[in-house]
Amino acid sequence: MVATRTHEVDAPDWAAIVIVILSVTAFAVAQGLTFPLISLVLERRGVAGSLIGLNAAAYATGAIVAVLWIDQLTARFRGNRLIVAALFICSISLATFATIDYLPIWFIARFLIGFCASLISILSGAWLNTASPDRIRGRISGFYGAGMCAGFAIGPLAIPLVGTSNGSAFALVAGYIALIGFACAAFTGSTRTSPERAPAGALLRFISAAPILVLIELAFGFADIAAISGMAVYFVRVGHSEAFAAYAITVLSLPTAFAQPLVGWLLDKTSRAGVTICCGLVGAVAFLAIPFLQSEAAILVVFAIIGVATFALSTCALTILGERFEGGMLVAGTASFSLAYSIGSVMGSTGTGSLMDWISPRAVPISVGLGLLAFTILVSFKRP
């Protein structure tokens, strides 16, 4: 029996929404920094593209483990406390990159960041839907997405500011995330809601009940990590500077942050399935256009469109989730989203690394574009 939504909260739980947006922004800063920075550092050291992709996959592996443990963790600990603990562990892991220059340790730290980021994503997404009435859910989800995108944009900015040759960027972001952890801990006493426990077996029940929602998040994970990690190396290999690669990741994220509230408004006022299909199609066309552009300005404009369109897929999935489900099934839903995102990110990171080694760098945006196009066609026939 799947718990579909049967009632609404009367008013938003703003304290909970603040915690959710602060925490998801912090995890996005960590992800926005680590994916391009670690890729660029390892590329400068002459590490093979396939190994760079494998290191990125350690993040996804940690995220998958968090999904598999979510029911046990929520049974033993309150969701808001898990979010705060995950923020502090993420901060410590980032500090490890700044202080230890040993690749196997970097794999472990990358795994822990993925684990903690997944916990934050699962619990914050479920909590957001619990705290938001459906009449404004799309807009609240849009601001949630805006916070996440702002984090993705802020993270890479540390690279040109402090460089890639030492651990200063990692240390700077580690301190920021620790501060956010303290702020979230202070707000927890003012909340009226909290993430509910995920019932045993709910993950598989949710996937069976809403496979297209899970597919939407998988497509987002595939395109997102391909853009953040694979495209950073792509730009360097086709002749652009490391600084351009870092700015491209910021351009990918910053316009997306401003656009997500508009996407949320469209989700509240128009067809949510229609918005999803349009976003997939726009993202596919934009990826396919990248290899044919010569101007750096044009590349950045199209890259910004990629960011808006692909991230909007996640906003769509989160909004439709809250419309259809409630209670512990929200945690199961966001857990399945995290699992799908992780699987998609493994496909995006390892796939792009292998394509660069075996075929050519230009195979990366073309393959991602074709993948998104196939996804869009499928969703057009099997609406969420």
Counted residue by residue, the chain has a size of 384
Is residue 189 within 8 A of residue 78, CB to CB? The reply is no
Determine, yes or no, domain membership for 217: yes
CATH number at residue 168: 1.20.1250.20
9 vs 325 pLDDT, higher one: 325
Residue 27's domain comprises: 14-381
Determine, yes or no, domain membership for 1: no
223 vs 196 pLDDT, higher one: 223
Residues β-bridged to residue 325 = 4
Determine, yes or no, domain membership for 4: no
Determine, yes or no, domain membership for 2: no
Write out the H or E segment, with its range, that includes residue 41. helix 14-44
Residue in 323, 221, 212, 191 with CA at minimum distance from that of residue 264: 323
Q: What is the CA radius of gyration of the chain?
A: 19
What phi and psi values does residue 180 have, to the nearest 5 degrees?
-65, -35
Determine, yes or no, domain membership for 161: yes
Q: What is the mean pLDDT of residues 209-234?
A: 87
Determine, yes or no, domain membership for 325: yes
Calpha distance 202→76 (Å, rounded):
17
- The tokens 């240390």 sit on which residue? 171
Determine, yes or no, domain membership for 111: yes
pLDDT in tens, 36-48: 788 777 777 777 7
What phi and psi values does residue 26 have, to the nearest 5 degrees?
-65, -45
Number of domains making up the chain = 1
pLDDT in tens, 322-336: 888 877 788 888 888
Determine, yes or no, domain membership for 113: yes
Least confident of 54-58, 77-81, 281-285: 54-58
